[in-house]
């Protein structure tokens, strides 16, 4: 009962954090690992479970997305293709390979969470000094190609693991465009949800036995509610509180993996 409640709560926090910050996997995945789930099973179960939270969070930002329908038609296919690629790589590569690389992936994700405020400040200064509008709809073909290529690569990362994928997408958009933060957040929610969903479908088709369905249902229930709360009230929470929670849980799981290894 304690384990189930902890996973449900982690799912709620992850759903809310994904909408606001974009690194909820660094709450749910480490929680599953702390309770003894094998890394591969924890990763697949977490990926499937977080889809519901992504859908509710994306719906909460539907107004911002309506203004970027043309951009979505370009960005979403790139993200979905990357998600399929990453999911296939996860299932094709040996389990030991994923187990060995997980600590590095968690460390990278935690680093991006900590670095995110500095990245946003740097991008804001860049927007103040440029004369180019930098909006997605006005980008030159080379820069738009760079954005699409980055979204595809981050889709691979998201399909394979996904921790802090949203943070990386926000960073990419912040550096290469001058879209406002709410628009970037809306696009981030849609793209990460698309990656999670297409990866989940891939897992279900290719290797349905890779998931622990009790964990999936607990995370899904918590994340779906968390996505609703995050879209409505999560923006009011102190960013420092959200980042601190992510770092604490992520470091605990990282230490457990390193000690067990």
Number of domains in the chain: 1
pLDDT digits (tens, 9 = 90+) for 245-259: 667 766 776 776 677
What's the rounded Cα separation, in Å, for the pair 184 and 214? Answer: 33
pLDDT digits (tens, 9 = 90+) for 208-229: 888 999 999 999 999 999 999 8
What's the rounded Cα separation, in Å, for the pair 189 and 21? Answer: 10
Q: Among all chains, which residue has been given the structure tokens 């926090």?
A: 13
- Domain span holding position 179: 2-260
Q: Is residue 161 within 8 Å of residue 85, measured between CB atoms?
A: no
Q: Is residue 54 within 8 Å of residue 189, measured between CB atoms?
A: yes
Instruction: Quote the strand ranges of the chain, DSSP E.
Output: none
pLDDT cut 90: percent of the chain above it: 37
pLDDT over threshold 70, residue 116: no
What's the rounded Cα separation, in Å, for the pair 155 and 149? Answer: 10
Residue 36 has φ and ψ, to the nearest 5°, of 95, 5
Q: Is 68 helix (H, G, I), strand (E, B) or coil?
A: coil
* Token pair for 37: 């789930």
* Most confident of the following: 19-28, 76-85, 93-102: 76-85
Q: Is 162 helix (H, G, I), strand (E, B) or coil?
A: coil
The model's pTM is 0.80
What's the rounded Cα separation, in Å, for the pair 85 and 13? Answer: 28
What's the rounded Cα separation, in Å, for the pair 223 and 237? Answer: 17
Report the run of H or E that residue 125 belongs to, with start and end: helix 95-129
């Amino acid at each position: 009962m304690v384990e189930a409640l902890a996973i449900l709560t982690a799912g709620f926090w992850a759903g809310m954090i994904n909408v606001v910050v974009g690194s909820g996997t660094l709450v749910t995945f480490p929680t599953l690992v702390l309770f003894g789930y094998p890394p591969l099973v924890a990763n697949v179960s977490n990926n499937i479970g977080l889809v519901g939270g992504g859908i509710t969070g994306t719906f909460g930002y539907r107004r911002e997305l309506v203004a970027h329908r043309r951009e979505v038609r370009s960005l979403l296919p790139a993200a979905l293709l990357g998600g399929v690629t990453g999911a296939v790589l996860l299932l094709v590569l040996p389990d030991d390979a994923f187990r060995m690389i997980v600590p590095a992936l968690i460390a990278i994700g935690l680093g991006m969470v900590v670095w995110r405020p500095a990245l946003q400040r740097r991008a804001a200064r860049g927007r103040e000094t440029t004369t180019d509008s930098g909006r997605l709809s006005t980008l030159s073909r080379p820069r738009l190609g760079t954005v699409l290529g980055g979204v595809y690569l981050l889709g691979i990362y998201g399909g394979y693991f996904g921790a802090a994928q949203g943070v990386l997408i926000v960073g990419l958009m912040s550096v290469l465009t001058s879209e406002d933060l709410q628009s970037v957040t809306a696009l981030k929610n849609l793209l990460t949800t698309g990656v999670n969903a297409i990866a989940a479908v891939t897992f279900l088709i290719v290797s349905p036995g890779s998931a622990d369905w009790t964990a999936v249902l607990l995370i899904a229930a918590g994340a779906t509610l968390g996505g609703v709360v995050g879209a409505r009230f999560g923006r009011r929470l102190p960013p420092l509180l959200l980042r601190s929670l992510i770092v604490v849980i992520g470091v605990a799981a990282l230490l457990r993996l390193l000690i067990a290894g």
